[in-house]
């Protein structure tokens, strides 16, 4: 299994809107992609006064990630509406081989 990691930041005022927005866009699309093994969305206050969201999605193969993300699997999947919800979004993602789970 492969874990795909992506981070985004928003204002305190917009923070309550971010999780539902991500569910409608990237998280929902990831979950609907064949080979997706689940997703976890976490949040915390950031040191700069913003709110950080960290999305982990889990995939059975690089081919499944490619079906979601396109040929450049290292780039984040971004949407035109993101700018209205985020103050900053990572343009790149990280991938990790899952060693243990449960």
**Angle, alpha carbons 93-54-4 (nearest 5°):** 35
> Of 74, 98, 93, 71, which is closest to residue 2 (Cα–Cα)?
98
How far apart, in whole angstroms, are the C-alpha atoms of residue 51 and residue 30?
A: 22
**Cβ contact 3:64 at 8 Å:** no
Domains and CATH numbers, the chain: 2-97 (3.30.70.100)
Contacts of 39-42 with C-beta under 8 Å, sequence gap 24+, read none
- What radius of gyration do the chain's Cα atoms show? 13
Q: What is the pTM of this model?
A: 0.92
pLDDT at 71 > cutoff 90: yes
The Cα-based distances of 12 to 1, 49, 73, 93, 99 in angstroms read 34, 8, 30, 24, 35
**What is the pLDDT, as a whole number, of residue 15?**
96
Confidence of residue 86 (pLDDT cuts 50, 70, 90): very high
| Res 27: pLDDT | 94
User: What is the pLDDT averaged over residues 51-71?
Assistant: 98
Please say if the pLDDT value at position 102 is more than 90. no
27-47 pLDDT, tens digit per residue, is 999 999 999 999 999 999 999
Res 20 pLDDT > 90: yes
């Amino acid at each position: 299994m492969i874990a795909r990691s992506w981070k985004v930041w928003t204002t305190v005022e917009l923070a309550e809107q971010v999780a539902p927005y991500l569910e409608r866009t990237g998280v929902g699309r990831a979950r609907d992609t064949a080979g997706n093994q689940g997703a976890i969305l976490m949040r915390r206050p950031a040191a700069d006064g913003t709110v950080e969201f960290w999305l982990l999605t889990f995939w059975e193969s690089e081919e499944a990630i490619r079906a979601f993300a396109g040929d450049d699997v290292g780039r984040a999947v971004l949407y035109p509406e993101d700018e209205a919800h985020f103050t900053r979004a990572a343009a790149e993602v990280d991938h990790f081989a899952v060693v243990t789970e449960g």
